[in-house]
């Protein structure tokens, strides 16, 4: 039986005029790094009484991806650059420009040896985390949608053992890769996360904005927004699709009560629940039972959340989003996420 998910309350907030699009946390600490719409990476001590982010300039556009690999921080941006940072000094160690369009996401492998970056050039690139040497280019996504508009490669995620990598795009096409061989081993489709309006606006909305593997690697979750009636807004339910990717089959679809978009997904270390965050007019934090295919809890957040990180033993969550950074703590009647 899955354990009940913890309950959280806001302990600290930092309000800003910019948008925090990405987040990374130093394990075993409350030190975090934030990627902003103002082109900066910020270092922040979440334990401080007054939250005072320190700017680390280097990019020239939105910082959409952050990943920790050993003692290094790697950031990716709409400026198409990846920057390796010395976390101790906050200084850039190296900068490379290898994507031809906006970088959408950056992830580190669980062992910290690889960095994966995805961009709107529809390529996932795997890098040696220590040397920044390009190891592989993974090409499994079309540059154009079925209606001949540019597509986007929004996100990627490693499995817990680091052997698998999933990449996902605007039209709901998801590719599962074998990391060692850099070969595609399966594809699944999530067309329900993509809406095309070919009559009035002649545009689309949606796509897979978040992916996550279950701890055993058997289940793959994809998050986004349900079919949209008005493509000018997020006027549809936030949605999560589940797949048994090895069988290339659906394992269920869950829709939240609130309208909006899921921007981030992560599983409980033992697979007891799936955490989904994002928002619309308001932010949302939802816990899902993937086995029973039901939403366990759905709570309003103080902002649209782009990225959230759970502390190892569960008493705190760190969240980055629209005009806010927030620290959540587990309430007294909530069991830690062990």
What domains can you pick out in the chain, each with its CATH number?
8-330 (2.130.10.10)
Tell me the pTM: 0.95
pLDDT at 337: 44
Looking up tokens 């569960």 gives: 314
Across the strands, what pairs with 181? none
Query: What is the token pair recorded at 86?
Result: 């010395």
pLDDT at 235: 86
pLDDT along the chain (338 residues), means of 10: 79 96 95 98 94 97 96 96 95 96 98 97 98 97 96 98 98 98 98 91 92 98 93 87 98 96 95 95 95 94 96 87 95 56
pLDDT at 336: 42
pLDDT at 3: 67
């Amino acid at each position: 039986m899955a354990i009940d998910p913890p309950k959280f309350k806001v302990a600290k907030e930092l309000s800003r005029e910019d948008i925090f699009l990405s987040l990374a946390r130093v394990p075993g600490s409350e030190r975090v790094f934030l990627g902003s719409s103002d082109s900066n990476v910020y270092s922040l001590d979440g334990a401080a009484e007054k939250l005072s982010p320190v700017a680390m300039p280097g990019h020239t556009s939105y910082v959409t991806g952050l990943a920790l690999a050993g003692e290094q921080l790697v950031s990716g941006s709409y400026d198409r650059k990846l920057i390796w940072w010395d976390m101790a000094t906050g200084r850039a160690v190296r900068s490379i420009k290898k994507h031809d369009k906006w970088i959408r996401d950056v992830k580190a492998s669980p062992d910290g040896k690889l960095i994966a970056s995805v961009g709107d050039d529809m390529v996932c690139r795997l890098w040696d985390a220590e040397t920044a040497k390009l190891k592989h280019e993974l090409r499994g996504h079309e540059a154009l949608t079925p209606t001949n508009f540019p597509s986007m490669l929004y996100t990627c995620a490693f499995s817990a053992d680091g052997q698998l990598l999933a990449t996902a795009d605007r039209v709901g096409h998801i590719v599962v890769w074998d990391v060692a061989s850099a070969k595609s081993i399966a594809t699944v489709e999530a067309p329900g996360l993509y809406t095309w309006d070919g009559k009035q606006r002649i545009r689309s909305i949606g796509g897979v904005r978040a992916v996550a593997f279950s701890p055993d690697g058997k289940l793959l979750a994809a998050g986004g927004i349900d079919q949209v009636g008005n493509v000018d807004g997020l006027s549809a339910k936030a949605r999560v699709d589940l797949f048994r990717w090895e069988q290339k089959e659906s394992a269920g679809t869950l829709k939240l009560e609130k309208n909006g978009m899921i921007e981030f997904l992560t599983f409980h270390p033992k697979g007891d629940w799936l955490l989904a965050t994002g928002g619309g007019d308001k932010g949302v934090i939802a816990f899902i039972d993937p086995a029973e295919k039901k939403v366990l809890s759905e709570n309003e957040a103080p902002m649209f959340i782009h990225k959230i990180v759970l502390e190892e033993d569960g008493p705190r969550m760190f969240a980055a989003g629209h005009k806010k950074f927030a620290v959540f703590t587990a309430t007294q009647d909530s069991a830690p996420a062990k």
